[in-house]
Amino acid sequence: MAGRLGMMQPQVIVLREGTDTSQGRGQLLSNIGACLSIVSCVASTLGPRGMDKLMVNERGEATISNDGATILKLLDVVHPAAKTLVDIARAQDAEVGDGTTSVVLLAGEMLKEARPFVEEGVSPHVIVKGYRKAARLAIDRIKQLSITIDKSDAVAFKDLLRKCAATSMNSKLISSQRDFFTNMVVDAVSSLDQQDLDESLIGVKKVPGGAMQDSLLVQGVAFKKTFAYAGFEQQPKSFASPKILSLNVELELKAEKDNAEVRIDQVSEYQAIVDAEWQIIYSKLEAIVKTGAKVVLSKLPIGDLATQYFADRDIFCAGRVAADDLKRVVQAVGGAVQSTCSDIHDEHLGTCDTFEEKQIGGERFNLFQGCPQAKTCTLILRGGAEQFIAEVERSLHDSIMIVKRAIKNNSVVAGGGATEMEISRFLREHARTVEGKQQLIISAFAKSLECVPRQLCDNAGFDATDLLNKLRMRHAQGHTWEGIDIETENVADNLERHVWEPALVKINALSSAAEAACLILSVDETIRNEQSERPNPNTKPLPPGAAQRAMRGRGRGGVPRR
């Protein structure tokens, strides 16, 4: 007995007291359940008949949206495993711009199909291996199925872009005005430099009031009137072919006593300092006038002295222009932002056909149109409520990203669940050629892909079981592009119906969803470290008002009064 006691190892405490450790199969199933609860939040937003969500933050600000990435970003998700789905929705939004709800739905369905295997004791590594193999097969199959559009025919290619943009708008708030906004989005993306397609050069301005059809696309730059000083109303508000100077210079009368210490012996010396301050600002203004510029813009303030000076010389100026607006002005009109007023030459100035200050709704806007090298444009959105216009902006962002991806990768597939059903059929057939557990796991992956057409049916109020059976039959007969037809409550060839999506959307969604599912399945333990300073459980809380009563009769610093 003594020998046995001598062999016992002393207990070693590694983790801080109070650290919560959960592990094993129960923890894995708990993580899957948490992810499925996230999926249930966004599943009803999928498709043309998807519902919107109303999110209210702690300040009482309301956001109405059916964009998966926006909803998950506004939800305060604290579960560590469920945060993975938030991350893949954000990644999908950043990389492709659309399909954020689909990627979360697919990841959740893959975990749901894997749950029975976990409950039966199958090793998660076996499931992960099968899912990764199925994902590779699915992505290769999408690449084979995708249809490449010839870019050489400009008219046909522009028509393709419109169809892709229209498909992304089907599930959005602006679907009723799809034709109007489709042309706007395609024209906006077409105006960018086709090499880099920087979507940040498409400015979006929101003006409450009016109808959606009052929205307009400015082939150039538009920004709201900046803060105006005295003399602003005397400036001309429109020019034809003006020279435009962009500055990063402050044009205000500054007292040098703020910047330097000056010691004087006589009053005349003080007057010389004041005169020098005025001379500094006047020399800057004279140098600007000599350039011949008729429109002067600056990131920094342009004060009342400079505003009046420019007004007397028929020059328009605007200070405190936002950095992104000034960047787009330079992209459109040419020239470069100058950080000094000296040594400015003609090549540093830009120009456009027309400049005008115009009233749009309740706001004054500065519009630069007819720009010679315009690689930018501005969307001015109108609508009733601010939340409505914000959702229109999010919807247009998704469409812009889809059109951008379609230009860069001109291969498309059919939407409406057609691609998912075809990949599901392909994987089921492949699974029959595989031995062992992998056959069941690849079949489970194939079944999980059916969640997209099923959710489209559920959200539209259709009989999902009946339509899915029809789709399985049609795909088994070789009808590759058969998907859900929301308009007729039936199945139809979605390629012929022009429900098109870039193949990149499907590839990115499938690979991200599979990776997220594999990551969650490979975690079997969660270690949660509590804060280092925890309340002492043996300390009883003071009754209400006890602290105030204890301090009565005490002076400053808690010292008893005498």
Q: How confident is the model at residue 258 (pLDDT cuts 50, 70, 90)?
A: low
Establish how many alpha carbons lie within 13 A of residue 234's alpha carbon, considering only the half-sphere containing its beta carbon.
13
Cα 205-376-325 angle, rounded to 5 deg = 50
Contacts of 552 (CB under 8 A, 6+ apart): none
The model's pLDDT over 353-391, given as tens digits with 9 standing for 90+, comes to 889 988 888 888 999 888 776 678 889 998 888 888 888
The pair of three-digit structure tokens given for residue 24, joined into one six-digit string: 């094993």
Q: How confident is the model at residue 20 (pLDDT cuts 50, 70, 90)?
A: low
Quick one: what percent of the chain has pLDDT higher than 70? 88
The model's pLDDT over 192-241, given as tens digits with 9 standing for 90+, comes to 877 778 788 888 888 888 888 888 888 888 888 888 787 788 888 888 88
The C-alpha atoms of residue 302 and residue 252 are separated, in whole angstroms, by 6
Q: What are the CA-CA distances from residue 507 to residues 66, 136, 479, 501 (Å)?
A: 22, 10, 21, 11
Phi first, then psi: give them for residue 250, nearest 5 degrees: -90, 125
Q: Which residue reads 């498309």 in tokens?
A: 412
The pair of three-digit structure tokens given for residue 203, joined into one six-digit string: 């400015």
Residue 443 has what pLDDT?
Answer: 94
Residue 445 has what pLDDT?
Answer: 95
Q: How confident is the model at residue 135 (pLDDT cuts 50, 70, 90)?
A: very high
Return the closest-CA partner of residue 442 out of 450, 432, 452, 451: 432
The model's pLDDT over 269-292, given as tens digits with 9 standing for 90+, comes to 777 777 777 888 888 889 889 888
The C-alpha atoms of residue 360 and residue 348 are separated, in whole angstroms, by 31
Whether 352 and 332 have beta carbons less than 8 Å apart is answered as: yes
Residue 218 has what pLDDT?
Answer: 86
Q: How confident is the model at residue 256 (pLDDT cuts 50, 70, 90)?
A: low
Domains in the chain with CATH codes: 21-149+414-522 (1.10.560.10)
Strand partners, 57: none
Give the number of residues written for the chain: 562
Q: How confident is the model at residue 551 (pLDDT cuts 50, 70, 90)?
A: very low
Instruction: Identify the residue with better confidence: 342 or 299.
Output: 299
DSSP, residue by residue, 182-219: HHHHHHHHHTS-TTT--GGGEEEEEEEBS-GGG-EEES
- Please, what is the average pLDDT of the chain? 83
Q: How confident is the model at residue 126 (pLDDT cuts 50, 70, 90)?
A: very high
| Average pLDDT value for residue range 69-88 | 86
The model's pLDDT over 417-473, given as tens digits with 9 standing for 90+, comes to 899 999 999 999 999 998 888 999 999 999 999 999 999 999 989 999 999 999 999
Residue 278 has what pLDDT?
Answer: 81
The model's pLDDT over 490-541, given as tens digits with 9 standing for 90+, comes to 899 988 888 888 888 899 999 999 999 999 998 887 777 665 444 555 545 5
Residue 203 has what pLDDT?
Answer: 87
Residue 496 has what pLDDT?
Answer: 87
Q: Which residue reads 């969307």 in tokens?
A: 379
DSSP, residue by residue, 372-431: TT---EEEEEEESSHHHHHHHHHHHHHHHHHHHHHHHS-EEEETTTHHHHHHHHHHHHHH
Phi first, then psi: give them for residue 390, nearest 5 degrees: -65, -40
Return the closest-CA partner of residue 409 out of 172, 157, 155, 81: 157
Residue 532 has what pLDDT?
Answer: 46
CA 468 from chain center: how many Å? 33
- Give the Cβ contact number of residue 26 at 10 Å: 10
Return the closest-CA partner of residue 416 out of 518, 500, 309, 343: 500
Residue 136 has what pLDDT?
Answer: 95
| pTM, 2 dp | 0.76
* Parallel, antiparallel or unpaired: strands 147-148 and 411-414: antiparallel
Residue 415 has what pLDDT?
Answer: 86
In terms of average pLDDT, the best of 17-21, 184-188, 196-200 is: 184-188
Residue 547 has what pLDDT?
Answer: 46
- Give the Cβ contact number of residue 529 at 10 Å: 10
